[in-house]
Structures are given as C-alpha cells and as structure tokens.
Structure 1
Amino acid sequence: MAEHWLMILIEIIFVVNSFAAILTVFRDRYRDITSIWAWMLVLLLFPGIGFLIYFLFGRKLSGHHIFNMQTQEVLGIDKIADNQQKEVMALSDSERYVEEQAFIRLFLQNEQAIFSNQNEVNILTDGHEKFKQLFIDIKAAKHHINVEYYTIYNDKLGNEFVDLLTEKAKEGVRVRVIYDSWGSGGKNNKLYKRLREAGGHVEAFLMPKWQIMPLHVNNHDHRKLVIIDGDIGYIGGFNIGDQYLGRLEKFGYWRDTHLRVVGDAVLAMQSRFFMDWNATNKYQKLKFGEEYFPSHDTGGDVAMQIVSSGPDSESNQIYQGYLRMISMAHESITIQSPYFIPNQAIMDSLAIAAKSGVHVRIMIPSKPDHMFVYRATEYYASVLANDGIEVYAYNKGFLHAKTIVIDNRIVSVGSANMDIRSFSLNFEVNAFLYSERLALEMEAIFEKDLLDSQLLTSEYFAAQSSWKRFKQFFSRLLTPIL
C-alpha cells in the first residue's frame, strides 16, 4: 500500500513539474528555440532543483534594466557617430576600404559604432607586459581613469591595481570602476573601501547597493575596458587577477590578447563606458564633454570600430561581425577562442569556407576552465576536425585570447568568445580593425603559438574513450544555456 501511494506521489510530482516547466520556459516568446529545449531538459531531468538553477541562470534581465541600457544614447555621443558617418561616406570612392565598406556600414547602422582611421595600436599577449604598460599609463593620468572589467579579484594583483587607483584618486584624478559581481566573486567591499574613501567611485554592474549577490547570473558584464584621460584605451581579453600573470598552478602560463589604443577609437570605448556607468549608477550620471572626449591627431595608420553587444540589443552585433568575417573570407580564417561553442550558422559557414578552399585554422585550450564548457568545446572541435578543418590545442598554458583574422586584412580582438553566451547573453565589446599590418602581426603571433600546440585530428578524437565522448555529447546538449 505504501509503495502504491509513493508511486502516485511521484506521478503527481512529475506532472506538476512538467506543467510548471512548460509554463516557465515557453512564456518567453522571444527566447531562442534551442535554448527553450535545453532548459526543458534541465527542468525535467532535475525536478525542483532545476527551477533553482533556472532562477539563477535562466531568467533574463528585467525590462527596467534593458530600458536603462537602451536610453543612454542621448548623451551627445550620437553627435560623434553622425560626424563619423560623414567620414565613412566620403570613403566610398577610396580603393583602400572597398571591401571593408560593408563592415563599416553594418556596425554604424546597428549601433552607431564610430569609425576612425588614424589610430596607434599595440598588441599585448603577455600579462606581465600588459599590466606593466597599463600601470605606467595609469600613473601618468591627469584627469580621469574609467575602468570596466568582468573580473577584478581580491588577490595580489587586484590589490596592487586598487592601490594605484587609490593613489590617483588622492591626487584628484576622477576614478570610476565598474565590475561584474559574479565574475569577481562578489562585491568585495573591503577591496574598494580605500578607493572610495579617497574619492573614487566603484559600482557593481546593474546591481543595487543593497543586494549582496547577483540574482541574474546569466547576463554578465564581460567587457574589459580602461580609458585614461580620453587619450589611451585598453580593450581585449585580460581581466585583473593573479591568474592572468600565470600565478595559478591550475592554469599555468596565461596566453591572452589585449590592445592598447591611442586615437579616436578611444572615444568609442569612452562612449561604451558612459552608457554602462549611467545604466548602473542612477545618481552620478556622466555627460558628454570635451574633457572626456578630446580630439586626437596621432598620425596612426589603423582603421577600426569599437563594437558592443548584449541583451539590451536584438542585433547581436559582434555575432553578426563574426559571421560576416567568416562568410567573406577568400584565403584564410584564423580563430583563437577559449570557449568554442558556436551555433549552426557559424559551423556551416566554417565548413563552407573550408570546402571552398579557404584555409581555416582554429586554436582552443588544452585544459578546461569550466568543465561542461570545455567538453562542449571538444565536441565542436571534433566535428570541425572531421570536416577537414585544422583544430589545434594550445599546450603551453591556458589560451584565453578571443581573436579572428581573415585574409591578412581584417582583425577582431575583444571580450567575446566564439560561443552562444557571448553571442546573446553577455555584455561584450570588441575592436574590429581594418589593417593589413596588424593582421600580419596577428598571424605571426598565431604561428608562434603553433609551436606550443597540438593538431587535433579526426583520429585523435576517435581514439578518445567512450566515456569522454559521452561527456562531450551531453555537454553539447546544454550548449544553448552554457
């Protein structure tokens, strides 16, 4: 008798759980269908617990947060874009940017991503090199330092960074910091206490002051930006923490890619920071002014656009840029990404490019950062290897660079991985650069990385154990929500 009632109770729980799962997932009519079925799988396989997972990871940002993000364009930043659009139109007869015109117009139309063609750009691939130069530039700051990172850890490097910002705040320099509380392991108020007392301002991205931990952990501020006096900008993949200097045994040497930029492209980074700051801080709004947006005449030779994307936009600008780069390549495609979980459109585009004679090479890490994500990355790598695409695993340490180069002429470097999360869930920012010189430099860096990498062939994946292949396949089922 007891077993009979137990079976009835289990059936009732199953029916109620299934009905609640359907109501929960399908009520959002704008959610991608693959994401819908992935969340259904989680809710049905893990009754009760699945709803807790969904509460933390599955809910989208509120309409209030999205509205705050979308209404930040009225600060005068649009005036810069208007002026730059005129400059782009004047390039229509120029032989230099014939094939880049489609890119430039795409990003201008999507989000007023201003175009500038006289920037000085330095590529930084080593953490010691990057932070040495960053600290030098911060020490020389005169007016303001605007910082936005996904991760600022409360460790040795994190404290050195905050100490330096505190010194500058005491000197009267205006210091503002935005960080993602999920990526940084919480609010870390003790870390920022001295900076705030010195007059600096620190905010957790889109998170009320009273809230201890983020309730929406599926939409991260994954951007990495530093703007100094409106003159120097940093953008790329490095965060702030000891692991980015290779100090954590788990990761070993940290291989990343970051850019130091001097020129009008810095104004676009500043614009992005302004919008994120004003959406996060309700009481200390930043407004357009020449002290934050100075004019530049650097004599540099790099043309570029700063492109951002996130849940506040339906255009998925960076994803569109990635797809456009792959589809327009004639000779070569070189990709580095720590998390390679593309959608079907990207997979098809890569396969088509390879079959059309384009030399496609992809590099991923050889060790996991997040287990499910890494197994899913391995799954997609195996599919591409079977299609004859060259896939390499970087063995020297952990590869965290997010880069694409096509035909030795167009480059993308930024925070966005080649995965579904970066395409639509995270707040990201990338630099798209139109420079043969920089493209060749990036290709040389890739060739150097090949010396510490292993080619992953179809035979390599076929020799893996059945258990490992099962984990890869199962992780792939969860890719829409990873």
Structure 2
Amino acid sequence: MNVVLYTILVIVLIFIWLGLDLYFGRMKHIKETRTLSFPKRQGEINLYADGNLLFKDLYNDMRQAKHHIHSLFYLVKEDHASQEFFNILKEKAEQGVEVRLLLDFMGSFGIKKRTIKELKKHRVQVEFYHKPAFPFFFFSINQRNHRKITVIDGSIGYVGGFNIGKEYLGQDPKFGVWRDYHLQLIGEGVQDLQTQFLQNWELAGDFSSLDWGKDYYPVSEKGPHTHQLVPTNGTQLSEIFLNLIKRAEHSIIICTPYFIPSDLLLVELLDALGRGVSVTVLVPAKADHPIVMDAAFPYFSTIIEAGAEVYRFYLGFYHAKVIVIDDHTCDIGTANFDKRSLFLNNEINCLIYDKEFVQKTIQEIYKDIHHSEKLTLEFIKNRSLFEKSKEQFSKLISPLL
C-alpha cells in the first residue's frame, strides 16, 4: 500500500513541478523577450500551395545567390528529399557565398550529427535554436522556433508553412498530397525577413552584435502588394487574430492543421457568428500527431451549433495556416490556430492587404474545400467512447499540443 501511495505522490509532485516549470518559464520569457515590429511594406508576393512548385523556385533562387543565403526552418528531415537542399547549401558555401542555416533544436532533432559535421566541413554555418536549458527545462523543450524563413542576397525572401522533407513534396504514402501555403517576397518586405532571421541567428549562437551592412540590406523597389510581416513570440498572436476577427463584416475563413483556439478567440468567433458573419474552418481529416485532432472536436461542436461550417480535407494532409477576412485581408504564415502557436512558439506571419491577392488565395481555398467533407454534429455525436475520452484528455493538455 505504501508503494502505491508513494507512487501517486511522486506522480503528483512531477505534475506540480511541470506546471510550475511551464508557468514560471513562460513568465521569464515574456519579461525578457524582444519582439520586432515592422511597418506596412510594398512588394511583389507570389503564392505557393504545392511543395514541388515552391521548392523548384526556392532552389533555383538559392543556386543564383551571389552574397548570402540565410535559411531558418523549424523542421528539416533526414531523407532523400532534404539532400538536394543540403547539397545546394554546401555547393554555394564552397563557392564563397555566406550560408547560414538555423534550425529549431526539437523540430530538427532527427538530423544526424554527421550531416551537421558535413555541412560545416563545406563552410555552411549551422546553429540550433531553443536548446534545452535550466532552470525551466520543461518550458525550454516546449518552446519552439516554428518559423520558416529563407533570404537570398537580401532581395528575395520566402516564408510560410512548408518545412524540408519528402512529405512536403507529397512523397510520403502515409499522408499523400501535402497541401500548404508559402510566400515568395520580392521588394520591401524582404528586409524584415532578414532582420528577423538575423535576430534569431545572434540569439542562437550567443554572438555579440555583428555588423550587418548594406550587402545584407540592398535597396529594394516597391511592388504592387501592401503587406506587413508580423513576428510573434508566444505573446502577441492572440491579439493579432482577435483584431482580424473583429474587423470581419461578411466572412471569415480559417485554414489550419490544428484548431485549438483560446477562450478569447472562441468567444470572438461566436460573436462574429452572432452578428451575421459567415465562419468557415478548414482542417485535415488525417492526423499527423496523436491526440491533437481530438482536442479540436469540442470546439467544432460549439462553433457548428452557432452556425459555422467546418470542412475536413481528405485528399491528403492539410497543413495550411491562413486566415481570410472578407475580401480585403489575408494572413499567411507559420502560425497555427492553436494554443502552442498562440502562447509558446516563435512564429512569423504576413498580413496582405490586396483584394486581387486575397481573391487568388480564396480560389485556392475553394479548391481545398472541393476535396473536403463537411463535418456534422451527427458525426461528432456518434464518435466512439474511446474517441470521446481522448477528447477530454487532449483538452486537458491542449496548451502543449
């Protein structure tokens, strides 16, 4: 009996420690974090929803680099699809181009040490972000740099939802077609992607203030699309999403792989529905992580009952991170509509204020809806007892999903 009691006590103490670690680690982070703020810019933006098209242009631009390639990814897999990416970095570094590769420690944990050693041997500078650290170890392994940024010669930038690996090219039979959204930026906004990358680079390597001169910030021309880069560090994203939803007069479209809103966001969505705004949510039918999908169902029930439409993409896996407000504003970037992106991760999104671009984005989303099934309250109600029990557990740990 004493063994059972001691075991229960140890488990309780562990949970208390984890809770305190997470809470005080976040408080320390909020106090010390330095979030950048960027103005509205003018530039040219190209939209990608297919990984094969994205990486064809990304890799071609990287091969044309003359001065530097700065690349930050949350996740780079160790597979055949990533080898082309690594080979380009090595080839350009050997040609004398400055190549910096920044990876999230947990997201890219699977990269072999010999791969990193080989990259460095070919003069590629490699750093890892958010390495586990004390005293708030649990918080440190849960906070991720979820950004995906590539800057080439300070004149071309990429940002969005795609990571590097075979599944992002639709080559993993487990997921099939991989649907995601990514942007190519040319013009004024590239300087902000550069600044964000360099801030993360300096923090990751604990470098002293380096001299980033005009070669990293060439003069850029204005373009047709008004946009604003919005980096967040687990503290500002909720306010950004709330402001977007409040602005909606006719329609809100939310595309996300994980729908786990905060209480404030849920209330704001219900308020929008109450004032006659149509709300459409598009999520995957397949799950890429256990439990995460189950955490969304209580929220699905609530918004469907209030009049929202929820669609589940069945053609493959849906990884898009998009919010469209009416016909005038869209948000595309790295942040999911979930508590991890809201309160833990480093993210970066791009707000685009251009009706023509918004319409193009909506057309792509309609293609996704065409390959989706509408979720009903009857389907949710008839889920098995096991699935419903997973809902309750997942809801309890939703901040970490």
Q: TM over 0.5, yes or no? A: yes
CA contact (8 A) 1:274 1:286 kept: no
Q: Which residue of 1 aligns with 2:127?
A: 203
Residues 192 and 202 in structure 1, CA contact (< 8 A), matched pair in contact too: yes
Question: Would you say the 8 A contact 1:402–1:413 is kept in 2?
Answer: yes
Contact 1:237 1:256 (8 Å CA) reproduced: yes
Alpha-carbon spacing, 1:283–1:111, altered in 2? closer, same or farther (3 Å)? closer
Q: How does 1:77-476 map to 2 (within 5 A)?
A: 111-116=36-41, 118-207=42-131, 216-283=140-207, 286-298=210-222, 300-311=223-234, 316-476=235-395
User: 1:277 touches 1:286 (CA, 8 Å); kept in 2?
Assistant: no
CA distance in 2, matches of 1:330, 1:182: 40
Q: Mean alpha-carbon deviation: is it higher for 12-21 or for 118-127? A: 12-21
TM-score (norm 1): 0.78
- The 3 A distance-change label for structure 1 pair 17 and 476 is closer
* Superposition CA RMSD, Å: 2.5
How far the C-alpha of 1:10 sits from its partner, in A, is 3.0
Secondary structure of 1:340's counterpart equals coil
Match for 1:60: what amino acid? G
1:323 is displaced (CA, Å) by 1.1
Q: Displacement of 1:223 after TM fit? A: 0.4
Q: Secondary structure at the match of 1:217?
A: helix
Indicate how the Cα distance of structure 1 residues 383 and 64 shifts in structure 2: closer, same or farther if over 3 A, else same: closer
How far apart are residue 411 of structure 1 and its match? 0.8
Aligned length: 398
What is the alpha-carbon distance in structure 1 between the residues aligned to residue 159 and residue 178 of structure 2?
17
Distance 1:480 1:215, change over 3 A: closer
Report the residue type matching 1:113 in the other structure.
F
> 1:60 maps to what in 2?
25
Following TM superposition, by how much is the alpha carbon of 1:355 offset from its aligned partner in structure 2, in angstroms?
A: 1.8
**Contact 1:150-1:184 within 8 A present in 2 as well:** yes
Query: How far apart in 2 are the matches of 1:62 and 1:286?
Result: 29
* 3-state DSSP of counterpart to 1:440: helix
Cα separation, 2, equivalents of 1:234 and 1:455 = 32
Conservation of the 8 A alpha-carbon contact between 1:386 and 1:457: no
1:143 deviation in Å?
Answer: 0.6
Distance verdict in 2 for CA 1:9–1:153, change over 3 Å:
closer
CA–CA distance in structure 2, aligned partners of residues 432 and 199 of structure 1 = 35
Q: Aligned AA for 2:120?
A: R
The DSSP-based 3-state class of the residue aligned with 2:192 is helix
Distance 1:16 1:189, change over 3 A: closer
Partners of 1:12 and 1:207 in 2: CA distance: 33
- SS of structure 2 residue aligned to 1:260: strand
Q: Does 1:10 align with 2:13?
A: no
Counterpart Cα distance in 2 of 1:379 and 1:65: 29
1:38-49 equivalences in 2 (<5 Å): none
User: Contact 1:410–1:435 at 8 Å: present in 2 too?
Assistant: yes
Q: Separation in 2 of the partners of 1:19 and 1:370?
A: 27
Instruction: Give the distance between the partners of 2:84 and 2:199, measured in 1 at CA.
Output: 27
Q: 1:402 & 1:445 partners in 2: Cα distance? A: 13
Q: Output one character per residue of 1:283-309: Cα deviation in whole Å (capped at 9) or x when no partner.
A: 4754332111112114x2111111111
Per-residue CA deviations over 1:39-82 (Å, capped at 9, x if unaligned) read xxxxxxxxxxxxxxxxxxxx837959985x53xxxxxxxxxxxx
C-alpha distance in 1 between matches for 2:226 and 2:239: 19
Q: Which residue of 2 aligns with 1:75?
A: none
Output the TM-score relative to the length of structure 2: 0.93
